[in-house]
Amino acid sequence: MALIGKIRSNPILVLLFIGGGILLFVLSDIMNSGNSGPIGPAEAVMARVGEVEIERNEFERTLGVAGSSADAYQSRDNLWNFYLSEGLIRNETDRLGLTVTKPELDELTYGPRYSPVIRQTYGNRQTGQVDAQLLNRVRTRIDENSIEEGIEARELPPNFVDIWKYQNRQVSTQRLQEKLSALVSKAMYAPSWMAQEYADQQSANRRVAVVRIPFDELDNDEVEYTDADLQAYIDENRSQFDNLEETRQLAYVSFNVDATQADSAAVRALMQDIANEWKQTEVRDDSLFALAANGSYTGAYVSEDQIAPSIADALMNEVAVGEVYGPFVEGQLMAVAKLIDRREMADSVTLRRIVRNASIPSQFTEANRLIDSLQTVLEADPSKFTDLASEFNRDPQSIATAGVLENIEPGQLAQSVDRLAFITGEPRRWYKVTTPTGVQLIQIIRRSQNTTPRVKVAYATEPMIPSSETEDAVRAQAEKFLTGLNSLDEMRAAAEAQGVTLETTAPLDIGTFFIPNLGSGQDVRDMICWAFGADRGDVSGFVYTFTDENFFYENKYVAVGLANVLPKGMAPVEAVRETIENTVRDRMKGRKLAEAMAGMDLNEAARTYDTVVDTLNAVNLTLSSLPQGIGAEPKVIAAASTGATNQVSQPIVGNNGVYLVKPLSDAPAGSSGNLPGARMAINTNSRSRVSQQLLNGLRAEVDVEDQRISTECNNRR
- Three-state SS annotation for 649-699: CCCEECCCCEEEEEECCCCCCCCCCCHHHHHHHHHHHHHHCHHHHHHHHHH
| Whether residue 353 sits in one domain with residue 341 | no
Do 66 and 160 reside in the same domain of the chain? yes
Instruction: Return the minimum-mean-pLDDT range out of 174-183, 191-200, 384-393.
Output: 191-200
Residue 40: per-residue pLDDT? 39
Give the Cβ contact number of residue 681 at 10 Å: 17
The answer, yes or no, to whether residue 620 has pLDDT greater than 80, is yes
Q: How far is 519 from 539, CA to CA, in rounded Å? A: 20
Residue 602 lies in a domain: yes
- Contact, 389 vs 352, CB < 8 A? yes
The per-residue pLDDT for 554 is 93
For 35-44, what is the mean pLDDT? 44
Pick the residue with more confidence: 566 or 27?
A: 566
Residues 95 and 180 in one domain: yes
Residue 627 near residue 607, CB atoms below 8 Å: no
**441 and 487 co-located in one domain:** no
* Within a domain: 33: no
In angstroms, the CA 540 to CA 530 distance is 7
Is 527 among the domain residues?
Answer: yes
Quick check: is 628 in a domain? yes
Question: Residues 176, 56: one domain?
Answer: yes
Q: What is the pLDDT of residue 283?
A: 83
The type of residue at 715 is N
Find the domain containing 149 and state its range: 45-186
Lowest mean pLDDT among 35-39, 77-81, 501-505, 708-712: 35-39
Q: State whether residue 706 is helix, strand or coil.
A: strand
Question: Does residue 311 lie in a domain region?
Answer: yes
Give the amino acid at 212.
R
Residue 115 lies in a domain: yes
Are the C-beta atoms of 448 and 347 separated by less than 8 Å? yes
Q: Which of 518, 542, 566 is the last residue of a domain?
A: 566
Going by the DSSP 8-state scheme, the letter that residue 383 receives in this structure is G
Number of domains the chain contains:
5
The answer to whether residues 326 and 369 belong to one domain is no
Indicate whether 265 and 255 sit together in one domain: no
Q: How many CA atoms lie within 13 A of 274 on its CB side?
A: 27
Residues 486 and 558 in one domain: yes
Q: Tell me the average pLDDT of the chain.
A: 88
- The DSSP bridge pattern shows strands 503-504 and 349-357 to be unpaired
**Shared domain check, 365 and 340:** no
User: Where does the pLDDT of residue 43 fall: very low under 50, low under 70, confident under 90, or very high at 90 and above?
Assistant: low
Residue 358 in 3-state DSSP?
coil
Asked if 211 and 318 sit in the same domain, the reply is: no
pLDDT at position 570 over 60: yes
Which pLDDT value is given to residue 16? Answer: 52
Q: Which pLDDT band holds residue 311 (cuts at 50, 70, 90)? A: very high
* Res 705 pLDDT > 70: yes
Contact 686, 187 (CB under 8 A): no
Which of 566, 586, 611 delimits the end of a domain? 566
Which of the listed residues 289, 318, 345 is the one where a domain comes to its end?
A: 345
What CATH number is attached to the domain comprising 562? 3.10.50
For the ranges 39-43, 158-162, 537-541, the one whose mean pLDDT is highest:
537-541
Regarding whether 559 and 542 lie in a shared domain, the answer is yes
Instruction: Decide if pLDDT at 625 tops 60.
Output: yes
* pLDDT in the model for residue 345: 93
Query: For 195-236, how does the pLDDT look when each residue is reduced to its tens digit (9 = 90+)?
Result: 888 888 888 889 999 999 999 999 999 999 999 999 999 999
The confidence band for 111, taking pLDDT boundaries of 50, 70 and 90, is confident
Mean pLDDT is highest, among 9-18, 66-75, 237-246, 361-370, for 361-370
pTM value surpassing 0.75: no
Average pLDDT of span 338-342:
93
Euclidean distance between CA atoms 18 and 654, whole angstroms: 76
For residue 403, what is the domain's CATH number?
3.10.50.40
Look at residue 199 and tell me if it is in a domain. Answer: no
Domain assignment of residue 689, yes or no: no
Q: Is the pLDDT of residue 11 over 70?
A: no
Alpha helices in 411-566, H assignment, sequence order? 415-419, 468-482, 488-498, 522-531
Which residues on adjacent β-strands are paired with residue 461? Answer: 335
For residue 242, what pLDDT band results from cuts at 50, 70 and 90? Answer: confident
The reported pLDDT for the residue numbered 36 is 37
Give the lowest-confidence range in 357-361, 406-410, 574-578, 710-714: 710-714
Pair (252, 271) in one structural domain: no
